[in-house]
Each structure stands twice: as C-alpha cells, then as structure tokens.
Amino acid sequence: MNSKTKSVLIVIVVMAIICLCSGGILMIVNKSSDSSVSNGDNSGSNTNKVYDGTKEIGSPIEVTINEIPYPETVGDMHSYQIGEDVWYYNLDSEGNAINIYANGNFTGDVILPSELDGHKVISIGKNLVDNKTTLFYTSIGGEHYWKNITSVTVPDGVKYINSGAFYGLDNLKKISLPDSIIYIGDNAFSYCSNLSSINSEIEGKIVMPKGLIYYGESLFRANKKINSFEFPDQINYIQAWTFYETAGFSDLVIGKQFMYICNNAFNSSSIKSLVIEDGVEMIDIGAFQMNKQLEKVIMADSVIRIGTDAFNLCVTLTDFKYDGKLTYIGKNVFGYTKVTDIIKNHQLPNS
C-alpha cells in the first residue's frame, strides 16, 4: 500500500469518527431536549396551582331579565274620595284604574280598594321614574301617617305593583298579596326594615304570588327580618340587589329553581353558611360580597360561571366546597377570604 492510499484511508477513518461523534452528540442533545419537554409536561400536569384572582378566565355571558308589558295611561289623572282618604289614579285603555296612590290618614292595618269610582284597580303605586315614591306618598297636613302602617292587604285582581310602592315603610310588618300579581317594580319593598311576612304566618318568611312573572331590582334592600323566601317556579333568577344589606339570613339554601343569582343579590348580608343546590348555573358580580359572617359554602357542580368579586371580602370564609368545571371566572372572586386551594386547574375554564 503506497503512501497516497494510506493518506486516503486515514481521511476516510477520521471523517467516519467525526460523523459518529457528531451523531452521538446530536442524539444526546435531542434526547436531553425530549426529556426536558417531557418533564415540563409532567410537572405541568402535576402542579396544584390555584386561581389567584389576578385575571378573569373564559368568556362571560350576560343574562338579560326581560320586563313584561305595562298598561299605557289614557287621559288625565282622576281622583276619588273614600271616607277621609283621597285616591288618585289613571285609566288604561280598558278603563281599569292604574297607578293609584293616596292622600290620607293611614295607620295600623290598611286594606287597599279593589275599585275606584267603578273602575277596577289593577295597578298600585305612582309609576314614576323616581322609584322611591310610595303608594302613600302624600299625607294630610304634612303628617306622614303612613309611617305607622303595620300591615297592608292588596285585593285580588291587582296585577302590577309599581316601583317604590311601599318604599321606606319602617313599621310595616306584614303584607298579603294576591296570586293575580304578575309584576313588581324596583325597590317595591326597599327599606321596609321590619317587614317579616308576605303571604305567610311564619315570622321571617316571604311567599311571593304564584302568578308573578317579573320582579325588579333591590326588592327587599336593607330588610332586617326576612330569613327565608319562596318564589313561584317560573321565576328562575334572584334579581340584582334583591337582598342587599339584609340582616335576617343565617343558614341559607338557594334552591335549584334559580338558574341565575344576579349581581350583588346578597351583597353585605348576614349569611353564615350557604348551600347552592344543583341547577344554579351562574353567580354574578359581587353576589355574596361583604358577607363578613360567611364561614362555609357548598356549591353545586352545575355552577359554571362565577363573576368578579362574587365572594370578595367574605373575611371569615374558610370552607369552600366545589367539584365542578367552570367556563368563566372573574377577577378577585375570593379576595380577602381565608380559603386556600379554592379553585384548582382542572376546575378552571380553558384560557
């Protein structure tokens, strides 16, 4: 073998060694890289991170509660005197008395008229933009006798209770409402702080009319006595601000008929333990915020949306049970609570 041939063989061997080494290095690098990716995936699936409240996850869906049509006013205001009391009213297109309110000396137990000058009463309250204007807004000689009303009976046939109809009747304790009522406006019973019975002989219980189709916001705001409630089956929501600043609740169960708990429905209330039954789907913004005595929540798996601040500032909340899967969660839902590991990765929406 001549020197030239030897040189060629040496070059071939060296190149082969280089290729083998390079391939080995590449394989090691690739294997290391694969291992690193794999380990990253495993660590990701095994981590037990919790929702920290810094951002919302998923897409919120707004729920619109549609009001029902209200009878239109025809002609000018009318008045009719019963005893010493003067009643004011409008007429609708069918000749019914609507938007009634009174000027009189009302104390104790009050029974509202079913007719005014032959016109059937179907709507009570002034129906003004100011929804703090009550059914007994005016009084005799500047004396607000209506402040001393303790009970009110609304006659059968009334369909509409206008906004603010009983607003601020501090001494009102009991109301009887007929099942003919289909509509109750905003603030209808707000600041009736001692109202403790509607259609019930049980202290603290309200039973809403069976015909009710719609009710507005802030219905029982700042009430001190209500501790349980029943709505007819067709009402599937707890309206915004309904029980804001109420003081009567302790152990509260929200039944499966209520698909939606709207914004601030129980904000700043007195709930100590809360059970949300299977069937409820949405808890909206601030729904239970500032319930400073709330210690325990059991939430059904049917809940798939929780809005911003829903349980914020429930400073004694230490026990929260939920095993479902959310499609949306807002910011700061559990701010300033005492619960850790509240919502885990497998319960959070896909980001």
Query: In terms of Cα–Cα distance, which of 290, 299, 284, 296 is closest to 339?
Result: 296
pLDDT at 128: 63
- Stretches where the chain sits below pLDDT 50 are 4, 8, 11-14, 17-46, 140
Identity at 44, one-letter amino acid code: G
Identity at 87, one-letter amino acid code: W
pLDDT at 195: 97
Query: 223, 189 in Cβ contact below 8 A?
Result: yes
d(CA 199, CA 209): 8
* Strands of the sheet with 251-254, listed across from one edge: 251-254, 273-276, 296-299, 319-321
Q: How far is CA 51 from CA 24, 48, 253, 331, in A?
A: 44, 10, 25, 9
CB atoms within 10 A of CB 71: 18
pLDDT at 175: 98
pLDDT at 261: 98
DSSP structural state of residue 291: -
d(CA 301, CA 285): 19
Show Cβ contacts of residue 273 under 8 Å, excluding neighbours closer than 6 positions. 250, 251, 252, 294, 295, 296, 297
* Strands of the sheet with 108-111, listed across from one edge: 108-111, 149-153, 174-176, 197-198, 205-207, 228-230
Query: 302, 278 in Cβ contact below 8 A?
Result: yes
Q: How far is CA 38 from CA 25, 29, 34, 260, 340, in A?
A: 20, 14, 6, 42, 29
Query: 303, 324 in Cβ contact below 8 A?
Result: yes
CB atoms within 10 A of CB 92: 18
d(CA 334, CA 220): 26
pLDDT at 168: 87
CB atoms within 10 A of CB 52: 11
Token pair 């210690």 is at which residue? 295
pLDDT at 26: 31
pTM listed for this prediction: 0.83
Identity at 183, one-letter amino acid code: Y
Question: Would strands 273-276 and 305-306 be described as parallel, antiparallel, or unpaired?
Answer: unpaired
Query: 339, 315 in Cβ contact below 8 A?
Result: no
CATH 3.10.400.10 fits 71-219, yes or no: no
pLDDT at 140: 47
**Comma-separated ranges of CATH 3.80.10.10 domains in the chain:** 71-219
pLDDT at 109: 95
Q: Write a three-state SS string for 207-256.
A: ECCCCCCEECCCCCCCCCCCCEEECCCCCCEECCCCCCCCCCCCEEEECC
pLDDT at 287: 98
pLDDT at 8: 46
Residue-wise over 266-283: b if at least 16 C-beta within 10 A, else e? bbbbbbebbebeeebbbb
Query: 351, 329 in Cβ contact below 8 A?
Result: no
The dihedral through the CA atoms of 292, 293, 296, 302 has a sign that is: negative
pLDDT at 293: 97
